[in-house]
A and B are shown apart, each in its own frame.
Chain A
Amino acid sequence: GNSVTQMEGPVTLSEEAFLTINCTYTATGYPSLFWYVQYPGEGLQLLLKATKADDKGSNKGFEATYRKETTSFHLEKGSVQVSDSAVYFCAHNSGGSNYKLTFGKGTLLTVNP
């Protein structure tokens, strides 16, 4: 079946530290992969996406590469800021006739000054 497994949090970093949040998935077919971010008191916003193998999604200094061979889509940022403190969700849309997104459980990131 479809599933997403992401690194459990919470993750606490100092400003300018390197961030990695691991994400692996199982899916039928060839899914699109997404990272969403949720700031306190808000809904989810798309952070980046990749629609095929070896694609790299990037936005606001965050990057993730679609690795079909390892079924992974790890989120990275070279230097985090306090404003990056939020919950991050990995997700996929396996497409076809199934338009339901499958989400990971979310990872809370706190960045301290």
Chain B
Amino acid sequence: EADIYQTPRYLVIGTGKKITLECSQTMGHDKMYWYQQDPGMELHLIHYSYGVNSTEKGDLSSESTVSRIRTEHFPLTLESARPSHTSQYLCASIAGGSYTEAFFGQGTRLTVV
């Protein structure tokens, strides 16, 4: 079983609020990722990190930001939530090496009202 955790699982919040989605893993993985999953199920990479103090934007433009101060922790922040941010957010990590698989958290279902 994968040791990667996301909190909260569900969040309903008002427009304009600042929110942070938490992602932690206990596997010591260097590489971590945030995906946004649209209602049609497609996954879109929005941020990734290859190690401490390394963050990059993904393929889909996002108003969110991320930080990587510790190897095990990769939080995602929205400074001012909007209804367009309503989505499922999935965090993942990879052990490294070319042929290893990603491990996913259970996701955070965000609803902005």
Contacts and interface: CB of A to CB of B under 8 A. Distances in A.
Contacts of A100: 33, 45, 48, 58
Majority secondary structure, A binding face:
strand
Interface string B1-12: 010001000000
Contact of B96 (A36, A99, A101, A108): A99
A42 B102 contact: no
Interface residues of B, number: 27
B43 interface: yes
Interface in A87-105: 87, 89, 93, 95-96, 99-101, 103, 105
A77 interface: no
Interface in A48-68: 49, 51
Contacts of B104: 36, 43-45
Interface string A12-34: 00000000000000000000101
B41 A32 contact: no
Contacts of A34: 101
Interface of B: 2, 6, 31, 33, 40-43, 45, 48, 50, 58, 90, 92, 94, 96, 98-107, 109
11 contacts: A34-B101, A43-B6, A44-B102, A44-B104, A46-B103, A93-B102, A95-B98, A99-B50, A100-B45, A103-B42, A105-B40
Interface of A: 32, 34, 36, 38, 41-46, 49, 51, 87, 89, 93, 95-96, 99-101, 103, 105-106, 108
